[in-house]
Chain A
Amino acid sequence: MSHVWRPLFVAAGVVVVILVLRVILVPNDFGIHERGYMYGWHRKGNEADWKNISVKYRTTEYCRQCHRDKYEDIRNSPHGSIMCENCHGPAMNHPQDPRSLEINRSRALCVRCHFKLPYSASRRGSIKGINPATHHPEVECVLCHYPHNPLRAPVKKEANQ
């Protein structure tokens, strides 16, 4: 009868090896958690992994602590709802890392909102806009328009007075 038992022993051995490997390879916190088997079968430690990712956008409140003057400058202007980091890049651990932030003066940044689109069903249609191909192409918008307060008189008009 040994020719019958031998393959059975081999099969049983494979099962034992798989079970041992499973104990070694599968983390202890892997199992069924709060949302049950269908939605909560996972490694619990991964939730902490996601929570520990570093925050890059620190929000206007963080910038205000040092740059109070700039904050007051933009706060009551029509651009007051745009957070600093949209144009200056994520603060991360500024001023340590990075030591300085960018100042994005590109036309591409302004035309995100100010490229005129005739969409009346959207708020986009009521934003003052231009066609960048015809409106003083090749110069930076900030040459005439002060980005922290667009209501301030254009620089050219000031120069003429």
Chain B
Amino acid sequence: MITRRNFCKKSLLLIGGMAVPLAALEIFNPGRLSAEKDDPAKVRWVFLVDTFKCVGCGFCVRACKLENEIPYDANVSRTWVERYVVTKDGQVHTDSPKAARDGFTSKSIDQASRGLLEIKDEDIDKAFFVPKLCNQCDNPPCVQVCPVGATYQTPDGVVLVDRTWCIGCGYCVMGCPYGVRFFHPVYKAAEKCNFCYHRISKGLKSACVEACPFGARRIGNIKDPEDPVTRIIMTERVAVLKEEYGTKPQVFYLGMSREVK
């Protein structure tokens, strides 16, 4: 027979035991802790896009295609510029003809198979341009789904594709919530923006950053507190795309509007 004293003692013990979080029972690895304390990677590339400054000239898309040998007339691109036109009745119209390779030289919205949409000047509530590129996520879903280890993240945060190892299954193309991946028509392998890894590792800036005459695209190192891009990201009102997916995207947008998806 259980006594009242025993019952109270045991139930307190049980409740106390249940209150101990699992994390408290974790055995610490001093090596890992010290590695995390002084992070070996001194560089983490991030991108800053200013949607006020972008005028939709498309020089970035042209420079990207030529720099990274993406077939110029194929309908694929590592980066593109979207036009958002919000009309006074609240409707949002977007287009990106030829990924904006030749800029926006028409007032009509390209609706693909549904033809062109003419919008009268006086009906426009607001209109702006949004450049898009790979977000080099901290939790890249495209890397997790690769069954063969052909895509991976470098220590400085850039997600790369091993063209010789890619089997072309297309899981990563489907897995990316931002739609930045595609198949390279020549190499027949998954292709994506890598912030011009060959340029940034030589101390140059990405081709699109150099090509932008308006300073709408900037690249920086978030681990350097003196970097002007880091300062803006830390102090200004920046937004990221599809934050709710938990991918931790590393392309930050200034002046992001509610309509942008």
Interface residues of A (CB under 8 A from B): 30, 33-35, 38-43, 46-47, 49-57, 59, 79, 81-83, 85-86, 89-90, 108, 111-113, 115, 117-124, 127, 132
Inside 8 A of B143's CB, which chain A residues have their CB? 38-39
Separation of A112 and B67 alpha carbons in the complex (Å): 20
For residue B180, CB closer than 8 A to chain A, the reply is: no
Which residue of the partner chain, among B52, B58, B198, contacts A55 with CB atoms under 8 Å?
Answer: B198
B55 engages A113 (CB within 8 Å): yes
Separation of A111 and B150 alpha carbons in the complex (Å): 41
B152 engages A33 (CB within 8 Å): yes
Separation of A21 and B210 alpha carbons in the complex (Å): 46
Separation of A57 and B67 alpha carbons in the complex (Å): 7
Which residues 50-80 in B have Cβ within 8 Å of A in the complex?
51-59, 62-63, 66-68
22 pairs, A vs B, C-beta closer than 8 Å: A30-B149, A35-B152, A38-B143, A38-B144, A39-B144, A40-B153, A42-B162, A53-B68, A54-B198, A57-B67, A81-B213, A83-B213, A85-B63, A86-B63, A112-B103, A113-B55, A115-B103, A115-B105, A115-B106, A119-B126, A123-B214, A132-B105
A123 engages B124 (CB within 8 Å): no
A-B contacts besides A34-B41, A41-B149, A117-B107, 15 pairs, CB < 8 Å: A33-B155, A34-B154, A35-B154, A53-B68, A57-B211, A86-B211, A89-B66, A90-B67, A118-B124, A120-B126, A121-B127, A122-B52, A122-B55, A124-B54, A124-B129
* B contact patch SS: loop
Separation of A43 and B152 alpha carbons in the complex (Å): 9
Inside 8 A of A30's CB, which chain B residues have their CB? 149
For residue B194, CB closer than 8 A to chain A, the reply is: yes
B150 engages A56 (CB within 8 Å): no
For residue B133, CB closer than 8 A to chain A, the reply is: no
B194 engages A50 (CB within 8 Å): yes
Inside 8 A of B111's CB, which chain A residues have their CB? none
A40 engages B66 (CB within 8 Å): no
Closest B residue to A111 by beta carbon equals B105
Interface stretch, picked from B10-18, B20-28, B200-208, B230-238, is B200-208
Separation of A119 and B197 alpha carbons in the complex (Å): 34
B66 engages A81 (CB within 8 Å): no
Separation of A121 and B121 alpha carbons in the complex (Å): 13
Interface residues of B (CB under 8 A from A): 40-41, 51-59, 62-63, 66-68, 85, 102-107, 121, 124, 126-129, 140, 143-144, 149-155, 160, 162, 164-165, 194, 197-199, 201-202, 204-205, 207, 210-211, 213-215, 257
Which residue of the partner chain, among A38, A83, A117, A124, contacts B211 with CB atoms under 8 Å?
Answer: A83
B197 engages A51 (CB within 8 Å): yes
